[in-house]
Amino acid sequence: MDIRFYNTLSNQLETFNSIEKGKMRIYTCGPTVYDFAHIGNFRSYVFEDLVKRYFIYSRYDVKHVMNITDIDDKTIKKANELNSSLEAVTQQFIDAFFNDIAKLNIIKADVYPRATQHIDEMISIIEILEKKGYAYQKGDSVYFSIEKFPQYGRLANVSRDKLNTGLRSDADEYEKDNIQDFVLWKGKKEGEPFWATPFGDGRPGWHIECSAMSMKYLGEHFDIHMGGVDNIFPHHENEIAQSKCSTGKPYVNYWIHCQHLIVEDQKMSKSLGNQYTLADLIDRGYDEMVIRYLLLSTHYRKLLNFTFRGLDQAKKSLMRINDFIFSLNGLKPVEGESETFSDFIKENEIGFKKNMNDDFNISGALGVFFEFIHYINLHMDNLKKGDVENILAYIDRVNSVLGVIKQSSSDTLEKQIMEKITLRERARQEKNFQLADSIREELKSKGILLIDTPDGVRWKLEKK
């Protein structure tokens, strides 16, 4: 079965064909490390993780690169506001980012290149662009001339008569109705870090960073490039222009963009106080896996309206999966295996794949999986040992895509409970009593009572 999805570049659904057989090379735009990442960012990162996991599940050898933007307008502004060095400020948020993605069970990229460590690569591209006549110097800065690249505007679907040729933008981000020559290299300014180059002291523009780092680690022509929809213009449009014009080759075959997340029907903003970080939600007693579940369960091309009611709903759905695994592990089945169940697993997995192959239709895929849980729950008493093993192995395959259960589904009941207890202990030490209480409640709902003793926490099964 082929994987089909929507390619922003062609504006249509396309069947995926990799450049190199069996391999998939992907670049995802990473964090600009001037602040803690918010749940909007995590929507994009979790979706990218889902796509990557699905390719791995589909037996592709995946190479994933995600950049870290540690120099741009926003990082410099933040360092100046805090009267601190760029390195100190960005390092704090880089550490936080890695902490957060581990909590959300996001598989790490193969490389996390940092912009400040790839200045030479950026300079080389700019030099080539100048030599080929695509870039020009004006004052202390170097700009890309959009008029020289006839395909400019194709990704963002903008007509060429909207181009303000001859005008220039020095900002990293700007609006679509003001399309101008964009900056590749910014001349040195008071209070900004700078590097010495053949075209003068200064620092890179944001867009050149991603061209340099993607091509360095994935080659000049690779399969997939992802980011949130806000990245389409100007960031990705400019990346295409710089990369294609410097190499003279195609750059990326498929562009996938994740729609935004809003909070309780409103755009996220600092002033509304709804720009939640992962820590904010954990502090309110929500489990990391529940947050992940919520973020991935809306189709990526739909706006995701994040609500606390939605989180409670996600908690219930995830609990159904966890309860199911719990029940399976608690069975004492007789030896043997039946064809009815192995056929049912095969059929269900085909349904799961069919949905995922159809533009990553996650709602459909989850629906198929919940039908599976429903059916097996009804026939729990008829399962033999081999059936239980096959079912647990299937859950592990589904979870290798979803990543919503941290442990292996075939871990013993004892081990699963102990992990929950450790989590609760950690929450208590961190004085996160809400989370600690919610873990106790979750266990209680499964008939497991926790008893605090001087020697630590013990558990027992509640008598029914």
Q: Which does 362 bind (CB under 5 to 8 A by kind): ligand AMP, Zn ion, none?
A: none
Per-residue HEC secondary structure of 209-229 comes to HHHHHHHHHHCCCEEEEEEEH
Among 197, 231, 253, 416, indicate the residue that binds ligand AMP (CB under 6 A).
231
Q: Given the complex with ligand AMP, which of 261 and 405 has the nearer CB atom?
A: 261
Quick note: the x/- pattern for Zn ion over 354-393, rule CB under 5 A, is: ----------------------------------------
Partner whose footprint covers residue 113, from ligand AMP, Zn ion, none (CB < 5 to 8 Å by kind): none
Least Cα distance to 376 among 450, 368, 267 occurs for: 368
CB 277 within 8 A of CB 38: yes
Nearer to ligand AMP, 32 or 105 (CB): 32
The answer to whether 298 contacts ligand AMP (rule: CB under 6 A) is no
Compute the residue count for the chain: 464
Q: What is the DSSP string of 173-204?
A: ---TTSEEEEEEEEEP-TTS--B--TT-SEEE
Whole-angstrom distance, CA of residue 446 vs CA of residue 59:
36
Return the structure tokens found at 185: 């290299």
**Chain mean position to CA 259:** 12
208 touches Zn ion (CB under 5 A): no
State in angstroms the smallest separation of the CB of 242 from ligand AMP: 18
Nearer to ligand AMP (CB atom), residue 155 or residue 448? 155
CB of 46 to ligand AMP, least distance (A): 10
Q: Tell which positions 267-296 bind ligand AMP, by CB under 6 A.
A: 268
Task: Select the span of 175-183, 208-216, 301-309, 428-436 touching Zn ion (CB under 5 A).
Answer: 208-216
Q: Which of 113, 205, 228, 403 binds ligand AMP (CB under 6 A)?
A: 228
User: What is the β-pairing status of strands 202-204 and 12-15?
Assistant: unpaired
Pick what 129 binds: ligand AMP, Zn ion, none; C-beta below 5 to 8 Å, kind-dependent.
none
Residue 241 C-beta: closest distance to ligand AMP, Å: 19
Site string for ligand AMP, 108-137 (x = CB under 6 A): ------------------------------
The residues pairing with 304 across neighbouring beta strands, listed in sequence order, are 261
Q: CA-CA distance, 56 to 66, in Å (whole number)?
A: 17
What are the beta bridge partners of residue 142?
137, 185
Q: Which is nearer to ligand AMP, 90 or 390 (CB)?
A: 90
Instruction: Rank residues 29 and 46 by Cβ distance to Zn ion and give the closer one.
Output: 29
Q: Cite the beta strand spans of 264-411 per DSSP E.
A: 304-306
- 315-347 b/e (C-beta count within 10 Å ≥ 16 → b): bebbbebbebbbebbeeebeeebeeebeebbee
Amino acid at 366: L
**Residue among 8, 18, 41, 180 that touches ligand AMP (CB under 6 A):** 41
210 binds, among Zn ion, ligand AMP, none (CB under 5 to 8 A by kind): Zn ion
Site for Zn ion, residues 3 to 62, rule: CB under 5 A? 29
How many residues bind ligand AMP (CB under 6 A)? The answer is: 15
Q: Which of 71, 126, 210, 356 binds Zn ion (CB under 5 A)?
A: 210
**With CB under 6 A as the contact rule, which of the stretches 10-18, 133-141, 228-236, 238-246 interacts with ligand AMP?**
228-236
Other CB atoms closer than 10 Å to residue 314's CB: what's the count? 22
44 binding ligand AMP? (CB under 6 A): yes
Alpha-carbon distances, residue 109 vs 15, 233, 238, 241, 377 (angstroms):
24, 24, 24, 25, 37
Which residue, 184 or 405, has its beta carbon nearer to Zn ion?
184
CB of 66 to ligand AMP, least distance (A): 10
Among 189, 260, 406, 428, binds ligand AMP (CB under 6 A): 260
Does 204 bind ligand AMP (CB under 6 A)? Our answer is: no
Q: Are 305 and 357 in contact (CB under 8 A)?
A: no
CA dist., res. 210 & res. 247, Å (int): 15
Q: Long-range contacts for 428-434 (Cβ within 8 Å, ≥24 apart)?
A: 432/282, 432/283, 432/285, 434/283, 434/284, 434/285
Note the residues at the interface with ligand AMP (CB under 6 A). 29, 31-32, 40-41, 43-44, 227-228, 230-231, 258, 260-261, 268
